[in-house]
């Protein structure tokens, strides 16, 4: 994502913020899910809804990639009911030791994003194991 034009990166930042809003995340959760510095204040997130793009760092780009992958996998799983995406993220699952996928992503950071994405996207999990 680092080779994306500045205008496209601003648009992507806006879309990711809308996605996280649709998932019902609060400011602190957004900061963790985006891989932003932990000492960042939640109110500073508003700039990513306007005309500023997320910082172009490897860690943030990796977080963004997983968030987009999770969103795509959820849309594939629930093509007729988009509200189910948010419900799925907030419902405890046996696959996550009866935790919600959202809590796994927030509490485990990047590892949690990868864990949730692997459960939703079999081709991602397949490629990740080196089986491809």
Q: What is the pLDDT of residues 55-97, one digit of tens each?
A: 999 999 999 999 999 999 999 999 999 899 999 999 999 999 9
Residue 1 within any structural domain of the chain? no
Tokens of 90: 């907030």
Residues 6+ away with beta carbon under 8 Å from 93: 99, 100, 101
Q: Could you tell me if residue 66 is inside a domain?
A: yes
When pLDDT is cut at 50, 70 and 90, the band that residue 129 belongs to is: low
Residue 58: domain span:
6-128
Q: Which helix (H) or strand (E) holds 18?
A: helix 6-22
On the question of pLDDT at 132 being above 60, the answer is no
> d(Cα 118, Cα 64) in Å, to the nearest integer?
15
Count of domains for the chain: 1
Mean of the per-residue pLDDT values for the chain? 92
């Amino acid at each position: 994502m680092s080779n994306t034009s500045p205008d496209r990166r601003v648009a992507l930042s806006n879309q990711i913020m809308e996605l996280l809003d649709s998932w019902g995340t609060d400011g602190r959760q957004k900061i963790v899910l985006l891989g932003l510095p932990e000492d960042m204040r939640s109110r500073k997130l508003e700039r990513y809804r306007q005309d500023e793009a997320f910082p172009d760092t490897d860690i943030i780009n990796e977080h963004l990639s997983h968030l987009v992958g999770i969103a795509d996998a959820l849309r594939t799983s629930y093509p007729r009911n988009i509200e189910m995406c948010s419900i799925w993220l907030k419902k405890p699952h046996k696959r996550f030791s009866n935790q919600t996928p959202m809590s796994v992503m927030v509490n485990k950071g990047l590892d949690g994003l990868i864990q949730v994405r692997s459960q939703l996207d079999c081709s991602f999990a397949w490629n990740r194991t080196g089986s491809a």
